[in-house]
């Protein structure tokens, strides 16, 4: 393709792996790095079978060298610092004028630190956390909320389009991460209410399919209701975004709210309930497993 670019992708997990695959499928030259070598090798072989122009690197710095754009999608602030800012990190190896795009959900402070480091090296940076879960990554329908300069966004957006259905430039560095915090607070509140609603309907002995049909067409409707009602009723909680990661995200959001002098009692309660699910061994279940914390009650 005429507009193909040399890109690096660091972090090939359940989100990053499919996103990097979309970049390869779009015709970009992708050099990837993942801390777990076996996962990187599996990704590499799968992309080769599809005809992708892909390579693996031994370190983040080697992946980033000579890249037009470096993408990261790792775990948290510490993980991002290790692949971006450490001795073998990406930023130190990037050529002047290159673009750094981070898809990790991290703190707004980390996003601002990354941009400061990038600017000092003559680089551009965008914090670009995503929403849409594993299915969104696989299907290329993620929503991306971005922070950074207009020039950085102008360069990043056309490339990100291969795995996104919505890309919004929210504001300056850190704004994308703060928008993602708002996103996670919304999800926490919706899942709290949805969990209680399902338990109420079950305890009252209602037909769960008919109850869903009755309430999903009105003001109670949500993405979580449409996609998780039936699986929550069935006790199925293997849909990608784990409670462990949700608690990490909520931790950033609650801390940011506190720094702004805001109260977040609903989200704080949901976070505590998630902590109890974790303690019971449910940390790797998806976020809809919040319902397991609530008693089923006694049906009629």
Catalytic pick among 50, 87, 180, 248: 180
Q: Report helix angle 265-277 to 175-203, nearest 10.
A: 70
How far is the CA of 195 from the CAs of 81, 201, 293, in angstroms? 36, 10, 9
Sign of the dihedral through C-alpha 163, 166, 172, 178: negative
Question: Catalytic site residue 248?
Answer: no
Q: Give yes or no for a contact between 165 and 142, defined as CB atoms under 8 angstroms apart.
A: yes
Q: How many CB atoms lie within 10 A of CB 295?
A: 7
Catalytic sites, residue numbers? 180
């Amino acid at each position: 393709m005429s507009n193909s670019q040399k890109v690096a992708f660091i972090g090939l997990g359940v989100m990053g792996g499919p996103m990097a695959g979309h970049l390869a499928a779009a015709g970009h030259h992708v050099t990837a790095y993942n801390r777990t070598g076996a996962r990187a090798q599996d990704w590499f072989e799968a992309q080769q079978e599809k005809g992708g122009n892909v390579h693996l690197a031994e370190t983040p710095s080697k992946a980033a060298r000579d890249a037009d754009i470096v993408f990261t999608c790792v775990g948290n602030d510490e993980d991002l610092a290790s692949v971006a800012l450490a001795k073998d990190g990406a930023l130190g190896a990037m050529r002047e004028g290159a673009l750094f795009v981070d898809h990790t959900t991290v703190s707004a402070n980390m996003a601002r630190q990354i941009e400061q480091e990038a600017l000092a090296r003559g680089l551009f940076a965008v914090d670009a956390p995503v929403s849409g879960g594993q299915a969104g990554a696989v299907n290329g329908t993620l929503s991306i909320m971005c922070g950074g300069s207009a020039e950085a966004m102008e360069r990043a957006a056309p490339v990100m389009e291969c795995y996104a259905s919505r890309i919004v430039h929210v504001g300056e560095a850190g704004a994308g991460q703060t928008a993602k915090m708002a996103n996670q607070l919304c999800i926490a509140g919706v899942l709290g209410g949805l969990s209680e609603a399902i338990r109420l309907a079950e305890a009252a002995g209602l037909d769960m399919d008919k109850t869903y049909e009755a309430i999903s067409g009105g003001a109670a409707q949500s993405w979580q209701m449409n996609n998780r009602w039936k699986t929550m009723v069935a006790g199925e909680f293997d849909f990608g975004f784990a409670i462990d990661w949700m608690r990490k995200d909520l931790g950033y959001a609650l801390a940011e709210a506190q720094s702004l002098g805001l109260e977040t009692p609903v989200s704080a309660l949901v976070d505590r309930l998630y902590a109890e699910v974790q303690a019971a061994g449910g940390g790797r279940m998806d976020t809809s497993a919040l319902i397991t914390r609530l008693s089923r009650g006694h049906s009629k």
